[in-house]
Chains A and B, each alone.
Chain A
Amino acid sequence: MKKKENIGKIVAINGNMITVEFTENIRQNEVAYALLGEERLKSEVIRIKNNRAELQVYEETRGLKVGTEVEFSGEMLTVELGPGLLTQIYDGLQNPLPEIAEKCGFFLPKGLNLHALDMEKKWEFDPCVKVGDSVSAGHFIGSVPEGLFKHSIMIPFYLTEKYTVEEIVSSGSYAVKDIVAKIKDESGKVFDIQMYFEWPVRISVTAYKQRLQPVESLVTRIRLIDTLFPVAKGGTYCIPGPFGAGKTVLQQITSRHAEVDIVLIAACGERAGEVVETLREFPEIEDPRTGKPLMERTIIICNTSSMPVSARESSVYTAITMAEYYRQMGLNVLLLADSTSRWAQAMREISGRLEEIPGEEAFPAYLESRIAAFYERAGLVELYNGEKGSVTVGGTVSPAGGNFEEPVTQGTLKVVGAFHGLSRDRSNARRYPSIDPLESWSKYPSFIDIEKIKKARAILFRGNEVDQMMKVVGEEGTSIDDYIIYLKSEYFDFVYLQQNAFDEVDAATVKERQIHVFDFIIEVLSSEFKFRDKDHARNFFQTLRQMCIDWNFIAWETDEFKNQEEKIRKAVDEVNKNEKSV
Chain B
Amino acid sequence: MKKVYSRILRIVGNVITVKAEDVQYEELAEVSTSFGKSLAQVIRLSDDEVNLQVFAGGRGISTGDEVRFLGHPMQVGFSENLLGRIFTGSGKPRDNGPAITENLIEVGGPSVNPAKRIIPKNMVRTNIPMIDVFNSLVESQKIPIFSVSGEPYNELLARIALQAEVDMIVLGGIGLKFDEYLYFKNTLEEGGALSRTICFIHTASDPTVEGLMVPDLALAVAEKFALQGKRVFCLLTDMTNFANAMKEIAITMEQVPSNRGYPGDLYSQLAKRYERAVDFDGAGSLTTLAVTTMPGDDVTHPVPDNTGYITEGQFYLKNGRIEPFGSLSRLKQQVNKDSREDHRAIMDGMIQIYASFKETEEKKSMGFRMSAWDRKLIKYGNLFEDKMMALTVNIPLEKALDRGWEILAECFSKEETGLRTELINKFWPKN
Contacts and interface: CB of A to CB of B under 8 A. Distances in A.
Given A244-B328, A349-B265, A66 B420 contact: no
A323 B198 CA distance: 48
Contact of B331 (A273, A309, A358, A361): A273
B113 A106 contact: yes
Interface stretch (B39-47, B78-86, B209-217): B39-47
Given A276-B114, A305-B271, A475-B368, A429 B44 contact: no
Interface residues on chain A, size class: 35 or more
Contacts of A558: none
A38 to B, nearest CB: 15
Interface residue SS majority, chain B: mixed
Nearest to B253: A14
Q: Which of B110, B276, B362, B418 has the most CB of A within 10 A?
A: B110
Interface of B: 21-26, 44-48, 73, 108-120, 140, 227, 255-259, 263-265, 267-268, 271-272, 275-276, 278, 280, 283, 299-302, 305-306, 308-310, 312-314, 325-326, 328, 330-331, 333, 337, 344, 348, 351-352, 355, 359, 362-363, 366, 368-369, 371-374, 415-416, 418, 420-421
A546 interface: yes
Given A101-B115, A244-B330, A474-B366, 9 more contacts: A12-B47, A65-B23, A248-B330, A269-B268, A307-B111, A362-B258, A400-B302, A401-B299, A475-B374
A546 B371 contact: no
A60 B415 contact: no
A520 to B, nearest CB: 19
B24 A65 contact: yes
Contacts of A15: 265
A306 interface: yes
A355 B25 contact: no
B111 A306 contact: yes
Nearest to B23: A65
A273 B328 contact: no
Contact of A13 (B25, B267, B331, B420): B25
A223 B172 CA distance: 46
B113 A345 contact: no
A108 B113 contact: yes
A42 to B, nearest CB: 15
Given A107-B111, A352-B256, A12 B46 contact: yes
B420 A550 contact: yes
A147 interface: no
Given A12-B47, A428-B355, A535-B372, A345 B112 contact: no
A129 interface: no
B44 A14 contact: yes
Contacts of B331: 273
Interface string A337-355: 0010010010011001001
A113 interface: no
Contacts of B227: 106
Contacts of A475: 363, 368-369, 371, 374
A327 B276 CA distance: 37
Contacts of A62: 24-26, 73, 108
Contacts of A352: 255-256, 258, 263-265
Contacts of A272: 112, 114, 117, 275, 278
Contacts of B352: 429-430
A132 interface: no
Contact of A101 (B113, B363, B369, B416): B113
A348 B366 CA distance: 46
A64 B117 contact: no
A305 B268 contact: yes
B115 A66 contact: no
Contact of B25 (A11, A64, A345): A64
